[in-house]
């Protein structure tokens, strides 16, 4: 069917309805990836929604597949989503109430539409959805997320749904086939992207915080969202930070919000990675993600009582313990700062070491530190081969990676919340990337990656204002304090395990190489430069 937008563009959608003559609520999924697949998307059983008494409307967004208009990522989703909701809620087969749901881009489109407060909208369920299109989507810590963005544009946006044929389609197909080469030399595909996806160049040109990004962002919609929101995400999802920001930002408005975080990456949702199995309870299907959606929409579109799940609004899978726990909020109440200082090659609790120390790391753009697991969305994402809790020992053996390791734990250490590294660095005059990884070292030596982050220092760029000791512009030969947000975790370090921190000058191809010349950076610790790792420890956890 065709649905008219306010500017006259027609967007096409498929409608699934229960076998009844009565008007029913409608659930809407708006997607850039084609409505021809599973109607509920990757995580939700769409036909189960229909069997449960909902109409299901699945729509191609503007300029994708069969829908009219030109596709420009992000900017039309608020207005088009609101128009679609209002149209659907006014149809005779609908009882006037509607819900929005979807994964990834679809989830962010749902939040943008909710910010328009369309007539009939009663609830939203964004899954693995970020909070903005600059930081956390296109960039992280100021670094361009080359691995995800380049592959997403070539594979997901151009290879299908863009209407390419002939030589253009053949050129895109060839580019996807040699994606590893393009990660090493992304400029080789610049002309192709300028011709077929000009928005990619705009993303490169406009850094985090540039006015270009002010056209739309879920975080800007928080004050306008007035319907309950169910947020789902994973500890290894590339948009985890954004999903947590969505939960906090909407909850601050006094709107009912719920949060579920599992041991999942963007595409691995069964809790099974090549090197780590979290157990049957970790599987999205065992958790019954479709049932969570139904409970959410039943309560807010139909006025039915809540199901039998936890009363607390936050439900987290604690890795290490490998179990689900319910909490009253996020950030989780009852945590306290657990500070570990970099001390030689150790991580030590208590006061900062008085003796100064330093290490020099060499950055070689021809042999950058390789991406090994973490919250990635690279070509192997569907099998977990390049994401999640991979063993870091091979990377740790490189001479351009510094490892700082704590003593074996004499009791379990439960960490729930955002982990932060503050490290003093004398960067090369050409600029620097400072990366950090939080690792759980098992008694057998396995070094399991939990989370990681990056902070980019451009030549002459100022460090983060909140970084202790930071002030002014980095001066060649002088250290600056750099804050690296490693990410959020819900993890139990078991007795006998050790906490490890890795510090390096890159993580490629997850992030683009910077600088593009050989560089040397000095990492300081102790004395006047108390580099430290901050973990939110759950008291009594």
Which residues are part of the catalytic machinery?
104, 237, 266
Rounded-to-integer distance, Cα 470 and Cα 12, Å: 52
Q: How far is CA 114 from the centre of its chain?
A: 20
Q: Is the dihedral of CA 164, 170, 172, 177 positive or negative?
A: positive
55 close to 46: Cβ distance less than 8 angstroms: no
Rounded-to-integer distance, Cα 505 and Cα 454, Å: 9
Residue whose tokens read 């063993």:
391
128 close to 239: Cβ distance less than 8 angstroms: yes
Is the peptide bond between 331 and the residue preceding it cis, with omega within 30 degrees of 0? yes
Rounded-to-integer distance, Cα 494 and Cα 513, Å: 35
Q: How far is CA 98 from the centre of its chain?
A: 27
What is the DSSP annotation of 175-226?
Answer: HHHTHHHHHH-GGGGHHHHHHH-HHHHHHHHS-TT-GGGGG--HHHHGGG--
100 close to 124: Cβ distance less than 8 angstroms: yes
Output DSSP code: residue 388.
B
- How would you class 234 by CB atoms within 10 Å of its CB: exposed for 0-12, middle for 13-18, buried for 19 or more? buried
State which H helix or E strand residue 346 sits in: strand 346-348
> CA end-to-end span of the chain, whole Å?
53
Per DSSP, the three-state class of 110 is helix
61 close to 34: Cβ distance less than 8 angstroms: no
- Long-range contacts, stretch 397-401, CB < 8 angstroms, 24+ apart: 398/369, 399/362, 400/361, 400/362, 400/363, 400/364, 400/369, 400/504, 400/505, 401/361, 401/369, 401/502, 401/503, 401/504
- How many Cα atoms within 13 Å fall on the side-chain side of residue 459? 7
- How would you class 306 by CB atoms within 10 Å of its CB: exposed for 0-12, middle for 13-18, buried for 19 or more? exposed
């Amino acid at each position: 069917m065709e649905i008219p937008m306010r500017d006259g563009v027609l967007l096409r959608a498929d409608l699934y309805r229960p076998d009844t003559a009565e008007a029913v609520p409608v659930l809407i999924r708006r997607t850039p990836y084609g409505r021809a697949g599973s109607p509920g998307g990757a995580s939700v059983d769409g036909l189960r929604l229909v069997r449960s008494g909902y109409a299901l409307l699945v729509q191609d967004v503007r300029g994708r597949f069969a829908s009219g208009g030109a596709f420009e990522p992000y900017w039309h989703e608020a207005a088009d989503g609101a128009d679609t909701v209002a149209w659907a809620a006014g149809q005779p087969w609908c009882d006037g109430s509607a819900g929005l749901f979807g994964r990834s881009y679809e989830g962010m489109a749902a939040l943008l539409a909710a910010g328009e407060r369309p007539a009939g909208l009663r609830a939203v369920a964004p899954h693995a959805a970020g909070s903005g299109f600059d930081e956390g989507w296109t960039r992280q810590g100021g670094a361009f997320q080359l691995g995800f963005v380049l592959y997403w544009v070539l594979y997901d946006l151009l290879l299908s749904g863009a209407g390419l044929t002939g030589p253009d389609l053949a050129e895109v197909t060839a580019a996807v086939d040699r994606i590893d080469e393009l990660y090493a030399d992304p400029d080789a595909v610049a002309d192709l992207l300028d011709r077929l996806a000009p928005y990619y160049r705009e993303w490169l040109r406009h850094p985090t915080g540039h006015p270009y990004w002010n056209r739309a962002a879920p975080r800007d919609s928080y004050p306008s969202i007035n319907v309950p929101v169910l947020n789902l995400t994973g500890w290894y999802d590339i948009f985890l930070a954004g999903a947590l920001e969505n939960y906090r930002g909407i909850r601050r408005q006094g709107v009912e919000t719920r949060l579920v975080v599992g041991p999942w990456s963007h595409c691995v949702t069964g809790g099974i990675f090549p090197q780590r199995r979290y157990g049957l309870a970790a599987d999205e299907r065992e958790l019954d993600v479709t049932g969570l959606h139904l409970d959410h929409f039943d309560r807010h579109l139909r006025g039915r009582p809540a199901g039998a799940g936890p009363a607390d609004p936050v439900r987290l899978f604690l890795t290490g313990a490998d179990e689900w726990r319910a909490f009253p909020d996020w950030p989780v109440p009852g945590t306290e700062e657990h500070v570990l200082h970099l001390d030689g090659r150790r991580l030590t609790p208590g006061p900062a070491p008085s003796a100064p120390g330093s290490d020099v790391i060499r950055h070689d753009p021809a042999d950058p530190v390789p991406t090994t697991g973490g919250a990635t969305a690279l070509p192997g994402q569907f099998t977990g081969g390049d994401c999640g809790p991979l063993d870091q020992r091979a990377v740790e053996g490189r001479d351009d990676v510094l490892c700082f390791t704590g003593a074996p734990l004499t009791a379990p250490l439960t960490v729930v919340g955002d982990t932060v590294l503050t490290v003093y660095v004398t960067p090369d005059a050409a600029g620097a990337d400072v990366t950090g990884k939080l690792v759980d070292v098992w008694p057998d030596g396995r070094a399991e990656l939990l989370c990681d982050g990056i902070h980019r220092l451009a030549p002459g760029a100022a460090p983060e204002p909140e970084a202790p000791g930071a002030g002014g512009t980095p001066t060649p030969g002088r250290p600056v304090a750099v804050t690296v947000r490693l990410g959020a975790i819900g993890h139990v370090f078991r007795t006998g395990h050790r906490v490890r921190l890795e510090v390096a000058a890159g993580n490629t191809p997850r992030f683009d190489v910077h600088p593009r010349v050989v560089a040397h950076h000095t990492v300081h610790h102790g004395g006047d430069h108390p580099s430290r790792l901050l973990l939110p420890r759950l008291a009594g956890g």
